[in-house]
Amino acid sequence: MNRRSILTKTGKGLMEATGKTSALSRDLRNILKEIDGKVSVSELLRTFSKMTEPELLEALKSMEREGYLREFVGKREEASRPSVPRTPTAPSSADSGEDLDFTAFTPAKPSAKTSEDARLQAQAQEIARQAQATRGREEAAARARAEAAARARAEAEHKARLSARAGLSAQADPAEALDRARREAEERQRREAEDKARREAVTRAVIEAEQAGKREAEGRIRREIEERTRRENEEKARREADVRARREAEEKVRRDADERVRREAEERTRKEIEERMRREEIERRMREEREQADLKARLEAEARVRIEAEARAKVEAEMRAERESEERARREEEERPRREEELRRRMEEEERARRETEDLERSLREQEENARREAE
């Protein structure tokens, strides 16, 4: 592929360019629309001036590999055709029909109804073609007869002119020659009228035969269409009845299935509720037992703690009393010398006070005795 190459779309490319498929990008589709079997690569370069030559060639090669276009012919001389920039337009029906490769296009398989219509249409076209061929043959024969009559008339006129010239040369009577020429002309006109009437009769017969064949073909086609329509209606009614019966059966099966599912769901829900209530009852009992066990354990622990606290308090009280007793004994042991010393001092003081008191009393008694003696 070079600048002189001329490209054409394949059937796949035609479908892509007309929008029946959309496998290519927008830029590639615009390039494909410009390819019509006439434009060259150099003209495409001018049309798509924003693209470089390698980019355009790569795009064309990729579409060629994918089967959207093929190389048609290489231009011998680039100047043999003036290059006019073309604006991107959709390909016309005339351009798209030239040099197309439809090997990559596989038409869909026609339906039975389409095949039957095509067969009847082909029969009608064959009858019309045969009638047209018969009419053509009759017209050709009529033209041949008319040409033969024209040639005969020309020969007669030529002979009449020769005879007239011969009569003039022989000094014949001009009136007789004119009369003979008039009779020959009348005879020719009569023969031409007969030929024309015969041709018209043949043409009318051909036309009547064509019309009769056409009416017969149309009647046969109409009867076949009516019969096919009747069979199609019966088949359609049967299919609709089958579809309706199948739908009713499916609906019944669906309703039965829905009812079964609903019952199963209700039964499952009931069992789940019962199971949940049973589990809740078991959990409640276990919780109560656990709470009772916890309460018992807590009470036992509290009692044990209280007993231990009481025992510990008793032991501590005993130990404290013992320590106090020991401390008191120790203090008493430490205080005994001091108390003994105090007791001794107190006894000494008491003894001294007693002696002083005794001395004082004795002194007083002596004084009283002295005073009494003095008074005496």
pLDDT on residue 282: 93
pLDDT on residue 116: 61
pLDDT on residue 281: 92
What is the total residue count of the chain?
376
Measured CA to CA in angstroms, residue 165 lies from 157, 158, 188 at distances of: 12, 10, 21
pLDDT on residue 117: 61
Distance CA 30, CA 14 (A): 12
Measured CA to CA in angstroms, residue 44 lies from 13, 32, 57 at distances of: 17, 10, 10
> 3-class SS at 212?
helix
**Please, what's the b/e burial string for 81-110 (b: 16 or more CB within 10 A of its CB; e: otherwise)?**
eeeeeeeeeebeeebbeeebbeeeeeeeee
The 10 Å Cβ neighbour count of residue 167 is 15
Q: Which residues contact 318 (CB under 8 A, 6 or more apart)?
A: none
The 10 Å Cβ neighbour count of residue 150 is 12
Of 141, 301, 124, which Cα lies nearest the Cα of 218? 124
pLDDT on residue 76: 39
Of 97, 341, 132, which Cα lies nearest the Cα of 349? 341
Please name the amino acid found at residue 125.
Q
The residue extents of the domains of the chain are: 6-72
Secondary structure, 3-state, 238-258: HHHHHHHHHHHHHHHHHHHHH
Structure token pair of residue 365: 């008694």
Q: Which residues contact 149 (CB under 8 A, 6 or more apart)?
A: 188, 191, 192, 195
pLDDT on residue 274: 92
Of 28, 25, 62, 56, which Cα lies nearest the Cα of 42? 56
pLDDT on residue 105: 40
Structure token pair of residue 272: 């789940």
List helix spans (H) across the chain: 11-17, 26-34, 41-47, 53-65, 93-96, 112-169, 174-375
- Residue 6's φ and ψ, nearest 5 degrees, are -110, 130
pLDDT on residue 277: 93
Structure token pair of residue 105: 């296009």
One pLDDT digit (tens) per residue for the chain, 376 residues: 788 888 888 888 888 888 888 888 888 998 988 888 888 888 888 998 888 889 889 999 999 999 998 887 544 334 344 444 444 444 443 344 334 443 434 444 445 556 666 666 676 667 667 767 777 777 787 788 778 777 777 777 777 677 666 555 444 456 777 788 788 888 888 888 888 888 888 778 767 766 776 777 777 778 888 888 888 888 888 888 888 888 898 889 989 988 999 999 999 999 999 999 999 999 999 999 989 988 988 898 888 888 988 888 888 888 888 888 888 888 888 888 888 888 888 888 888 888 888 888 888 888 888 888 888 7
Answer yes or no: are the C-beta atoms of 40 and 5 closer than 8 Å: yes
